[in-house]
Amino acid sequence: MTTAILPLASLLFAALLFQPRLLKAPLWRATITPLASIIGSGFLVAGPILAHTAGTLAFVAMFALCAVAYLFGVAIRHNILYIEPQLNREPPLLVSTLERGADLALSLAYFVSVAYYLNLFAAFGLRLGEIVDPFWIRWASTIAIAGIGTIGAFGGLAALERLTEAAVSLKLSLIGGVVAALAVTTVIAFGSGNLHWPLAEHARGTQEIRVLLGLVILVQGFETSRYLGIAHDAETRVRTMRWAQWISTAIYVTFVLLITRYFRGNLPKMGGETAIIDMLAPLGLTLAPAIIAMALASQLSAAVADMAGGGGLIAELARKRLSAKSGYLIIALAAIAITWTANIYQIIVYASKAFVAYYALQSAQAALSAWRLGQHVRACLFILGVTLALTIIVFAIPATV
C-alpha cells in the first residue's frame, strides 16, 4: 500500500506545482526560491543526523534550528526594508563596511556550500551502485565540481541553470510524496496499535548542544530573498521569505517527527550521508529511487545556484578586476580542496559556520539600524542574533560516527 502512496502523492503534488498559472504567479515565484533552498539538501540529511544527535527529541531539535534561522531571517528582512534603500544611495561608512564584510562572508560560504551540495550529489548518485566508500564519493564530487566550474568558466552556466529550474518543482513534489507516505504509514500503525517510539542512544550534554549548533546549514537558504531585488520589490520579498520559513518549518518538523519511529541509533561509519534511504526502507521499493531522484535534482540545482551567485559576488568584491567566469573557477578549486580535506560532517559544520558569519554581520547591521530608528527592543533581539551566531562559530562541532 505504501509503495503505491509515494508515487501517487508525488504525482498529485507535481500536478499542482507544475501548473503554468502557479509557476508564473509573482508571489509563488518569490516564495519558491528561498523555500526550495531551505528544504533542499537539509531535508535529506536532517533525519539521520538528528537521530544520532538528539534521539527521539529530534523534532524538538529541528524546531530549535528553524527558530534560530527565523531569528536571522528577521534581521535580514529588516535590512531589506531599511538598509537596501541606503545602499542605493551613498550609505554611511559603517553601513557599507558591514555590507561588504557580509558579502565577503557569503562568498566564502559559497565555497563550502558547493562542496557540500556536490558531495551529497555524488553520495546519492553512487548509491545507485551501492557505493558508499568516501574515496569514490570524493572522486565523483571532484568530477561534478570540476564539470560545473568548467561550464561556468566557458559561459555555459546560464544554460545549465535553465535546465535545473524544473528541478525545484520536481524536488518539492517528491518531498510531498515522501511526507504523505510517512503520514499514512503512521496513521495505519496507530490504528493497529503498532506505533512504537524507539529510545535511540545519542550524545548528551554539551556535546549534543555543540553538534546541534553546527547544523544551521540544514535550514539555510532563506537569505536568497535578499538578492531577488531585480525581480521583486522589498515588501514582496519580506512577505514571501517569511512564508518560506513558516512552510519549511512545518515540513521539517513534521517530517522529522514522522520518521522518529524509524530511528536506528548511530550513523554508519560509511554512507551516513545517505542513511535516510536505509532508515526509510520499510516504506517500500519506491522510496530509494524517489530519494535518489530528489537528491540529484536538489543538489545539482542548489550547487549551480550557489556557483552562479558566488561567481557574481566574487566579481563584485574584486571591483570587476575578476570576471564572474573567473569566480566560478575559484569556487570550483576551493570546493575541490574542501572535498579532499574534510568529511561530509566536517563540511556541514564548515558550511554552517560560514553562513552564520554572514548572518552575524547582517544581524549587526540590523541591530545598529534598529537602534538608530528607536526600535530598541528589536535592536536587542538582533544583538541576541549576533551573540548566538558567534557562539555557533566558536563552539559548533561535527557529528562523530
Say what the pLDDT of residue 269 is.
67
Instruction: At 167, list the grid cell.
Output: 528541478
Q: Looking at the predicted structure, is the pLDDT value of residue 185 above 60? A: yes
Residue 392: pLDDT band by 50, 70, 90 thresholds?
very high
Asked whether 216 and 68 are in contact (CB, 8 A), the reply is yes
Instruction: At 149, list the grid cell.
Output: 566550474
Instruction: At 62, list the grid cell.
Output: 529541528
Q: Looking at the predicted structure, is the pLDDT value of residue 161 above 60? A: no
Say what the pLDDT of residue 325 is.
79
Say what the pLDDT of residue 81 is.
94
How many helices and strands (H and E) does the chain possess? 16, 0
Q: How far apart are CA 138 and CA 340, in angstroms?
A: 7
Q: Looking at the predicted structure, is the pLDDT value of residue 202 above 70? A: no
Q: What is the mean pLDDT of residues 27-34?
A: 82
Asked whether 181 and 6 are in contact (CB, 8 A), the reply is yes
Which of 209 and 229 is assigned the larger pLDDT? Answer: 209
How do the domains of the chain map onto residue ranges? 2-134+155-306+344-395
DSSP state letter for 40: S
Condensed to tens digits (0 to 9), the pLDDT of residues 304-326 reads 777 877 777 787 787 777 777 78
Which of 365 and 186 is assigned the larger pLDDT? Answer: 365
Condensed to tens digits (0 to 9), the pLDDT of residues 221-236 reads 888 888 777 778 899 9
Closest CA to 304 of 138, 127, 156, 109: 156
Task: Please report, for residues 238, 360, 368, 370, 384, the alpha-carbon distance to residue 376 in angstroms, rounded to integers and kept in the order given.
Answer: 21, 18, 10, 7, 12
Q: Which range, of 103-117, 237-251, 273-287, 336-350, averages the lowest pLDDT?
A: 273-287
3-state SS, one letter per residue, for 334-397: HHHHHHHHCCHHHHHHHHHHHHHHHHHHHHHHHHHHHHHCCCHHHHHHHHHHHHHHHHHHHHCC
Task: State whether CATH 3.30.70.360 applies to domain 2-134+155-306+344-395.
Answer: no
Mention every residue, 6+ apart, whose C-beta is less than 8 A from residue 76: 222, 223, 225, 226, 241, 359, 362, 366
Instruction: At 260, list the grid cell.
Output: 522518529
Q: Looking at the predicted structure, is the pLDDT value of residue 198 above 80? A: no
Say what the pLDDT of residue 16 is.
83
Which of 188 and 62 is assigned the larger pLDDT? Answer: 62
Percentage of the chain with pLDDT > 90? 25
Asked whether 33 and 237 are in contact (CB, 8 A), the reply is no
Condensed to tens digits (0 to 9), the pLDDT of residues 249-294 reads 998 999 888 888 877 666 666 666 777 777 777 777 777 777 787 7
Q: Looking at the predicted structure, is the pLDDT value of residue 165 above 70? A: no
Say what the pLDDT of residue 168 is.
72
Condensed to tens digits (0 to 9), the pLDDT of residues 107-119 reads 888 888 888 888 8
Say what the pLDDT of residue 212 is.
86
**Residue 374 burial (CB count, 10 A):** 8
Condensed to tens digits (0 to 9), the pLDDT of residues 52-72 reads 788 888 899 999 999 999 999
Give the global pTM.
0.88
Say what the pLDDT of residue 391 is.
94
Residue 29: pLDDT band by 50, 70, 90 thresholds?
confident
Distance of CA 98 to the CA centre of its chain: 24
Query: What is the H or E stretch that residue 211 is in?
Result: helix 206-213
Q: Looking at the predicted structure, is the pLDDT value of residue 164 above 70? A: no
Mention every residue, 6+ apart, whose C-beta is less than 8 A from residue 140: 122, 125, 126
Mention every residue, 6+ apart, whose C-beta is less than 8 A from residue 155: 325
Say what the pLDDT of residue 158 is.
64
